[in-house]
Structure 1
C-alpha cells in the first residue's frame, strides 16, 4: 500500500521504461542517418563497419573480423562477399592456415578511407549534439556491452 508521501512507482512493464526498446529505437534512428552519408561510397551500414575494421587491420581472417564486429561468421560472410563484388576487398585462403579465409582491402577499398572521415562528422552534425555528449554515450554503451557479455557468460 502506497502512502501519500511516497512517489508512485514506475510501471516496470511500460514500454518507455524498457532499456531494450530505447536501444532498439535509438539504433534504428541513428543507423538511418548513416544511409545518405554512405550511399556515395556504395556502402551499407554493416559494410561500413566491416570496412572500418579492415582499415584498422588488413588482411584479417573472417573469424577475426567476426569477433571484432560481434557477428557470427555466417552473418559476416555475405557482407564480405558483397564488398568483394564491388571491388573493395578480396577473399582468399590464408597461406599459413588453409582453413582460414583472409579478407584483404583492395587499392580501391583502401582509397575509400579518404572519404570516410566525412561520415562521423556528418553524423555529429545531423544529430546536433555536442561531441562530448556523444563520446560519453559511446563510452557508457561500451560499459553496457561488456556487462551484457558478462551476463551472457554467466548464463551458460
Structure 2
C-alpha cells in the first residue's frame, strides 16, 4: 500500500497496516545494532522501567509490552546470551525471573532509542511532528483504543460468518 488507503478501508485494516509498516521500519532501523523490533520493544521498555527504579519480572515486562510471556522469556534468553541483559531469580518469588540491562545493554538501548525516535519523527511529520497537537490527539485516541477491552466471544454471529 503506497500513498492513500484503499477505498472502503476499515479502521482495523488501517491499524494493522500501520503496525506492519512500523514494525518493518523499526526492524530495518535497529538491525545494524543487532536488534529486532521485538527485542527493541523489550530493551526500550526495560530501559524506561529501570530508569524509574523498577527491576521488573519477565511477566511484568510482558504485560507492559503486550508480548506473550513465553516470547518475552525467549527474547530475554537471547538478549542475555548477547550480553545485553541479566536474568535473575526474584528473591521474593522463586518462580519469577527479574530482568535488568547490562551496561552494554543500556548503551545499545540508548543508541536504538535515538534511531527509533528519528523514525517516529518521520512518521508523525504529516501530523505536525511528535510534539504537535494532532500527534497528541492521535496518542489520546490510540490510548483510548488500547484501553478498550476486546472479547472475541462477544463479537456475536458476525465473527463466525453467520448473519
- Interval containing the TM-score (normalised by the shorter chain): 0.7 to 0.9
How far apart are the structure 2 equivalents of 1:125 and 1:22?
18
User: Structure 1 residue 120 and structure 2 residue 120: aligned?
Assistant: no
How far apart are the structure 2 equivalents of 1:16 and 1:82?
42
How far apart are the structure 2 equivalents of 1:27 and 1:71?
14
How far apart are the structure 2 equivalents of 1:141 and 1:34?
19
What's the CA shift string for 1:111-146, capped at 9, x where partnerless?
223312232123323664222233432321111111
**TM-score, normalised relative to structure 1:** 0.77
Q: How does 1:1-156 map to 2 (within 5 A)?
A: 16-58=8-50, 59-115=55-111, 116-125=113-122, 128-129=125-126, 130-131=128-129, 132=132, 133-147=134-148, 149=149, 151-152=150-151, 155=154
> 1:57 and 1:39, CA in 2 relative to 1: closer, same or farther beyond 3 A?
same
Shift of 1:79: 1.4
User: Does structure 2 retain, via aligned residues, the 8 Å contact 1:92–1:102?
Assistant: yes
**TM-score, normalised relative to structure 2:** 0.74
SS of structure 1 residue aligned to 2:93: coil
- Larger Rg, first or second structure (1 or 2): 1
Aligned residues: 140
